[in-house]
Amino acid sequence: MDPARSRYTPEANCSFEQKVRTAQSAGYNAVIVYNVDSDELVPMSAKNGTGIYIPSVFVGQTWGLTLKKDYTNPEYFVVLTGESPFNIQTHLLIPFAIVVGICFIVMIIFMIVKFVKDRRRQRRHRLPTSTLNKIPTCKYQKK
């Protein structure tokens, strides 16, 4: 992208679609819309996206002014891609949940195996019924 052919536009009263169409009709190769007085990001949308062929992106005020200042310097350049930014859910949360789930399943399996082993050991060390019947018993009576 040629830096001279990119448009930096502050967010104003007109729609994102109107900003991009105006920049495209003026011959710009890309549009970077930045928020005014805030770094909050707002989703860009268009009622009718047909006929728009240049890339556009929305950034906060800090990044918008930084890009506007540094992008005219030939040492810097901006690359606009269609890829999503780092997604914490797919890159961290899901693998973490899988690891925790596997650990939980392994723990449950170990607990079941230990319970079965302990139960068998208890049954082995118990006196048989024939021996238990031979033990003398005393019955106490109330006075």
More confident residue, 89 or 135: 135
Confidence band of 3 (pLDDT split at 50, 70, 90): very low
Confidence band of 4 (pLDDT split at 50, 70, 90): very low
The pLDDT tens digits for 40-50 are 887 777 788 78
Residue 61 lies in a domain: yes
Residue 24 lies in a domain: yes
Say whether both 66 and 115 belong to one domain: no
The β-bridge partners of 7 are 31
The Cα–Cα gap between 114 and 122 comes to 12
Which residues span the domain enclosing 10?
3-70
Say whether both 11 and 51 belong to one domain: yes
Residue 44: the pLDDT is 76
Residue 11 lies in a domain: yes
Phi, psi of 7 (to 5 degrees): -110, 130
Structure tokens at 41: 């990001």
Say whether both 20 and 62 belong to one domain: yes
CATH number at residue 11: 3.50.30.30
Say whether both 15 and 54 belong to one domain: yes
CA–CA–CA angle 114, 117, 119 (5° rounding): 105
Residue 121: the pLDDT is 92
As a whole number, mean pLDDT of residues 98-120 equals 97
Laid out side by side, the sheet with 6-10 consists of 6-10, 30-34, 56-59
As a whole number, mean pLDDT of residues 30-38 equals 81
Say whether both 58 and 114 belong to one domain: no
Which DSSP category does 59 fall into? E
Domains in the chain, number: 2
Say whether both 55 and 95 belong to one domain: no
Contact in structure between 35 and 54 (CB atoms under 8 Å):
no
Residue 50 lies in a domain: yes
- Please state the pTM of the whole predicted model: 0.47
The Cα–Cα gap between 110 and 40 comes to 49
Say whether both 63 and 105 belong to one domain: no
